[in-house]
Structure 1
Amino acid sequence: MSNQNTNDMEIDGINPSQVDSDYMIALLAQQQELEMSGNQMMNANDIANFKKSFREYQEKNKNISSNGAEGNSGCENDEEIARLMQENYIREQEMYNMLGCNGQSGYPASNQNNNPNKISENLKDYHTSELQKQYHERYVKEKLSHEYFRNKLNSNEAIPIKKQLRDFYIDFEQKTKSVFTSPQEQSQYLREFLNNLSRTIIENPLWANSEREEQENAIIEMEKLITKKLFDITFGPSEDLARDTLLSHKILMHSWVEPRHLDLPDFDFHIFEKAGNELSKMNLYRFYIDKIICIVNCIKLIEYAYRKNISEEALANDKLLSLLIFVILKTNPKKLISNVQYIVRYVNPNYFSIGIYEFSLTSIWGAITYIEKISQTSLTITSEEYDAL
């Protein structure tokens, strides 16, 4: 890790010589594009303005912690800057069209009556803003990465948080063995700890001055770390596994169900096979968000397959529920109730404000409840036909 003296000499983890190199490659790339447009070269004022804008943006993103935890954030190497500049070439062509260049592609040839060293002020402003936008997107992306979070967590300022975690792991395991009498008590205790830890994270010097997006990401990363650590003693309590066994038996007993029994048009089940596989994938993950995403993907794949193979009309919620029930009956995903109950018990409540997550959980739970109570009266089938099957 870089020492303090080194950090004082750096901008976002790159020393001044590297910044100069980045600046030069950006300047040369812009100069090359100007030559392609018919302009021979940038004049001294243009170069000075470009250099000033470039350095101002680099300085604005300077945010190095005293321990060097942010030593490698927010900077691109020469090749990356060159790539960004090349991507801007296409955007600038579009800008010229908007500025009234009669739809001509590429850069317009320079007017010989004008100073050949003068370039469009609009082009310079647009070019600078686009470059800064792409720097910012890269900068934010790196700050929201798992590696960036772990680097902060491994720094000295995070020692109190790590001690708090170790103490909680011991306490939680002991209470699971001798105190908690239900999964609800267990999940409530963990959720209260996570809520209190969220406030601790935001108040910690590592995140106190960070943008809200980074703070929220740090909270989710911490919850992921803790819930995965405790997964083996929180997932699949005996009552959930018992319900899973009964549900699986119900599904096997009704594996003969066809689309018409659920008032659906006739179709080949294999068009929904990928949707069913998403529900089985939940068993591959330990974090509640990863499990929710599997349910979301299942529903999206059902909607996609329906529009592509059955009807282009919008899929009504009641028909979507019937298709979800049918998919579950045909795929019989293992530990379905345990997975859904785990999500409901441990998910951060803020995620219920995300419409697609709430809708997906409501839909999957509705399908499970239907199958648990499935009978001849809940299907479009005569009692004689039902008994014969």
Structure 2
Amino acid sequence: MWTDKHRGIRVSQEELLCKNTCGYYGNPAWQGLCSKCWRERARPAGAPRQDTRPRNDGTPLTFSKFEEKKNIEKGHRINTMRRLFWGSPSPPKRQESSESQTKALKAYQSLEPGDFTGFLKILRSPSSQRLQSRCTAFLNTMEAYHDLPVQKQSDLVLDFYQSFAEYFSSFPDAQVTQIMEHVEKLIMTRLHKWVFCHDSCDDEQKDLALQRRIRSLNWVTPQMLSVPFPDKKTAVTSDPFLPAITAIIEMDAKRAPQDKLACVSKCSQHVFEALSTSRSEPANADDFLSGLVYVVLKANPPRLHSNMQYVIRFGLPHSLMAGESGYYFTNLSCAMAFIEKLDGPALNLSPEEFEGYMLRQRAPSVGNKRQQIVSDTQNLLEELKGRQEKLDQGVVALNVQLQKWMQAVRSQLDEATAQFALVQEEITARPELSNVFSSPSPIASLQGGDKDQSVQVLTDQHARSKETDC
């Protein structure tokens, strides 16, 4: 399955599908089965899901009395859990609940794709009070019983998804999927700290083992994995798979399973983009899986096994069984399985050469690698030198502009100072002029005195002339 003389990794489309030929994608963690077939196989023999409840129609049961008693007790437990999570129905308010249900359904139908904030607003509205109370009761119960084994917690969460989806049975499948993605994000964001890397499982030990395994394979080159790389010499920091490495590392920071799947899908899309730029022809499935293995080896994502198991246990089943997200997730699981079982023939190496690489007794193409590093370093130094020259030229131009700006500011400041002095002089001169015009002038007073004297002389002369006439 994994080895080939010309290519290190080869997985056909049939090998990615479920072994029960149900049409969905399988997973190495489920022994090549999809989540539905794996859960059906994991159930006890003779205890299918539809027969776990006691039958009240009077038909005889085909099980023994012990099995019948066991099923009845299991049915009681299921009903008890449902009452805890969903509450008891209230017959007197059936008409009001149907009206509120119709109103809530109309609000959910108008919800836009990806609008998680709008979903929360609708869920908190009075018409969705019953759904909100169910979610709250389920979350409180899961937090109270967080010591349960992780597999039982997974079953409870998936049963809650199924029961919640029945509320929207009249909706199209696309709208139900959209609403259930919001429900999953709401529930698992709250339960992440209780169920992720649970104490009842060995996820932490497997994470450490996988990290040590990936760290021991850091000598694997893209040529060994038959990853198509660009032939031209590029700089050290221009790795075409760097965006994919960043995306797969970001998966550990997400809480909701769909957000982790989105990181896987983003990483896979970056792998396809890097492969398309590395070679002229379109990338095929074998090249994609080889590139994905190279990304995982170079990134060594934190808690990769725990994140994968978290998505498997608490994610929506349809997200893992079909679509792009299911295909990418299945390929990532195959890449993990390939890394765990990696040997010499998978890399076109003899067992002795592979052992020598693992023991650090050999290094792959040391001379060529050193020469490539030297050439890449020289190219990088030349690029940095050119950047430094441009920076120096920019600094000189900036100094010239700064000096011109300082001169212009000084000239404007001098001009403003001169204008301010002139304005101040005008302001001080205006009161003096007003005082001059308001007080009588000496010339006017002298002229007025002369006029009075002349009038007096004329009067005396006229009187004298009258006397002489007499």
Tell me the TM-score range normalised by the shorter chain: 0.5 to 0.7
Q: 1:219, 1:350 → 2: CA distance?
A: 10
Relative to 1, partners in 2 of residues 1:66 and 1:377: Cα closer, same or farther, differing over 3 Å? closer
Equivalent position to 1:236, from 177, 186, 197: 197
TM-score, structure 1 as length reference: 0.57
Relative to 1, partners in 2 of residues 1:140 and 1:174: Cα closer, same or farther, differing over 3 Å? closer
Equivalent position to 1:225, from 176, 186, 190: 186
1:162 aligns with 2:123: no
CA shift, 1:188, in A, is: 1.2
* Counterpart residue number, 1:124: none
* Counterpart residue number, 1:278: 247
Give the conservation status (yes or no) of the 8 Å contact 2:113–2:178.
Answer: no
Equivalent position to 1:195, from 136, 150, 162: 162
Relative to 1, partners in 2 of residues 1:261 and 1:175: Cα closer, same or farther, differing over 3 Å? same
Cα deviations across residues 33-54 of structure 1 (Å, max 9, x unaligned)? xxxxxxxxxxxxxxxxxxxxxx
1:337 aligns with 2:305: yes
Give the conservation status (yes or no) of the 8 Å contact 1:143–1:149.
Answer: no
Give the conservation status (yes or no) of the 8 Å contact 1:303–1:315.
Answer: yes
Relative to 1, partners in 2 of residues 1:253 and 1:153: Cα closer, same or farther, differing over 3 Å? same
Counterpart mapping for 1:1-389 below 5 A = 142=112, 145-177=115-147, 180-181=148-149, 183-200=150-167, 202=168, 213-238=174-199, 239-267=202-230, 270-308=239-277, 310-382=278-350, 383-384=352-353, 385-386=356-357, 387=359, 388-389=361-362
Q: 2:193, 2:319 → 1: CA distance?
A: 23
Q: Which has the larger radius of gyration?
A: 2
Q: 1:264, 1:162 → 2: CA distance?
A: 50
CA shift, 1:66, in A, is: 8.1
* Counterpart residue number, 2:399: none
* Counterpart residue number, 1:116: none
Does 1 or 2 have the higher relative contact order (CA < 8 Å, sep 6+)? 2
Q: 1:150, 1:174 → 2: CA distance?
A: 24
Q: 1:317, 1:143 → 2: CA distance?
A: 30
Relative to 1, partners in 2 of residues 1:193 and 1:140: Cα closer, same or farther, differing over 3 Å? closer
Relative to 1, partners in 2 of residues 1:283 and 1:144: Cα closer, same or farther, differing over 3 Å? closer
Q: Identify unmatched segments of 5+ residues in structure 1.
A: 1-64, 74-138
CA shift, 1:145, in A, is: 2.3
CA shift, 1:212, in A, is: 6.0
Give the secondary structure class of the aligned counterpart of 1:375: coil
The share of aligned pairs that are identical, in percent, is 25
CA shift, 1:213, in A, is: 4.7
Relative to 1, partners in 2 of residues 1:155 and 1:273: Cα closer, same or farther, differing over 3 Å? same
Q: 1:215, 1:265 → 2: CA distance?
A: 41
CA shift, 1:148, in A, is: 2.6
Q: Identify unmatched segments of 5+ residues in structure 2.
A: 1-98, 363-470
Q: 1:368, 1:359 → 2: CA distance?
A: 14
- Answer with 314-323 or 144-153: which moved more: 144-153
Give the conservation status (yes or no) of the 8 Å contact 2:111–2:119.
Answer: no
Relative to 1, partners in 2 of residues 1:225 and 1:311: Cα closer, same or farther, differing over 3 Å? same
**Aligned Cα root-mean-square deviation (Å):** 3.1
Give the secondary structure class of the aligned counterpart of 1:251: helix
TM-score, structure 2 as length reference: 0.48
How many residue pairs match? The answer is 250
Cα deviations across residues 178-211 of structure 1 (Å, max 9, x unaligned)? xx33x222211111112112223x27xxxx7x77
- Answer with 231-240 or 273-282: which moved more: 231-240
Q: 2:341, 2:176 → 1: CA distance?
A: 44
Give the secondary structure class of the aligned counterpart of 1:261: coil
Give the secondary structure class of the aligned counterpart of 1:314: coil
Q: 1:146, 1:289 → 2: CA distance?
A: 13
CA shift, 1:176, in A, is: 2.7
CA shift, 1:351, in A, is: 2.1
Relative to 1, partners in 2 of residues 1:152 and 1:212: Cα closer, same or farther, differing over 3 Å? farther
